[in-house]
Structure formats: C-alpha cells, structure tokens
Amino acid sequence: MTRLSVLIAITMSLIAALTGCLGPPPVLASSEVTRAAINLEEPPADRARVFAFTGRGPLFSGGGKATTSHILPADIYVNNVKIGTVNPKEAMVFDVAPGRYSFSWMIYNQRVGWGEEMRPGIFELPGGVIVGISAEYVGGTYFISEGVMTSLFDKSGQKRLSPDVKIVRAVHCPPTICI
C-alpha cells in the first residue's frame, strides 16, 4: 500500500467518524437501574429484563470466520419499533412483559442499503429472567444473537458487569413495549 493510499484511508475514516458514524451521547439510566444492572439482579416474575449490547463483526473486511467486537453504534428495534441506540461499552437495559418479541438492529441513523439485510431474532422471554442480546453483523446482514461477550463482565470473578460498562435507557421505548 502506498503512502497516498494510507493517507486516503485515514482521511476517509476520520470523515466517516465525524459525519455520523459515531453514536449519540448516552442517556444514562437512573442510579437504581444502574445498580441493579451492574449486579445482574433478576427482575420480578411479571417481567423480563433485557440487556442490549453491541456485538461482534468480522475481524477482516473481507469476511471470514474470525470475529471481534465491532465499534458500530446500534439502533435497537423491538417488534419493528426503534427503542433507542446503544454504543460500544454500553448496555441498554429495559424491562418487558413476558412474551414473544422480535429484536433487530441497524447502524445508528442508517437505513438498510442495497445488498444489506436486517434479520430479526425472535425470542420467547419468560418472567423473572435476564436476557442478554448482542447486535452483530456478517457481510451485509445485521442480526441479533442471544448472549453477552465475556469482556463486558467484571474481571474479579464476581457475577456482575464491569464498572466500565455504561448503563443506558431505551429512550424511545413506548409503554406498549417497555414496562
């Protein structure tokens, strides 16, 4: 790669970062929700607690099986309704009534483009449980998978989230979804 190619690639990356590829500033959850989330406290039996995180993407731009944490801010959708945005190193925490839900995501303030697909994940959520979901992608497919990357947990061996993870609210979640 020539010096000019490297300079062009760096310039394009900076332009992308400065023109909206970064997510919005976080809207932090209340101190009560943050404490319960960090300590992974289970909700009452009449609700399920959902933790939404950014997830993994291909390690190399050409694809392949190797994956790494991606840095894309994720607009989270529940039943096709945008409920908020989660940035890397954040956890969006919200409660829902027990039931069946469709979760999907797209890059912050973006629409599905040509050759891309938003593939929803359908989950049956019982009451009294915590469910972790991750916004992941491979190629042009954006999908939700169940689970949480271990890097988000406290390294002390205690069953809790790392204090470095910001707990944010689902700011656009209507009362018909979030309780």
Is 51 a domain residue? yes
Which residues span the domain enclosing 92?
25-168
Is 110 a domain residue? yes
Phi, psi dihedrals of residue 30, rounded to the nearest 5°? -65, 165
Give the residue from 93, 86, 97, 76 showing the smallest Cα distance to 34. Answer: 93
Structure token pair of residue 101: 């839900």
Give the residue from 177, 160, 28, 20 showing the smallest Cα distance to 96. Answer: 177
Q: Quick one: pLDDT at residue 55?
A: 85
In order along the chain (179 residues), what is the average pLDDT of each group of 10 residues?
A: 46 45 86 93 96 82 67 95 95 97 95 88 96 90 82 74 92 96
Is 82 a domain residue? yes
Is 70 a domain residue? yes
As for how many domains the chain has, the answer is 1
Q: Please answer whether residues 153 and 71 qualify as being in contact, where contact means their C-beta atoms are separated by less than 8 angstroms.
A: no
Q: Quick one: pLDDT at residue 9?
A: 41
CA 65 to centroid of chain Cα atoms: 21
Give the residue from 105, 119, 166, 116 showing the smallest Cα distance to 140. Answer: 116
Q: Quick one: pLDDT at residue 70?
A: 84
Q: Quick one: pLDDT at residue 1?
A: 47
Q: Report the distance separating Cα 95 and Cα 150, nearest Å.
A: 22
Give the residue from 1, 13, 35, 56 showing the smallest Cα distance to 167. Answer: 35
Q: Report the distance separating Cα 82 and Cα 174, nearest Å.
A: 9
Q: Please answer whether residues 87 and 73 qualify as being in contact, where contact means their C-beta atoms are separated by less than 8 angstroms.
A: yes
Q: For the chain, how long is the longest CA-to-CA vector? A: 60
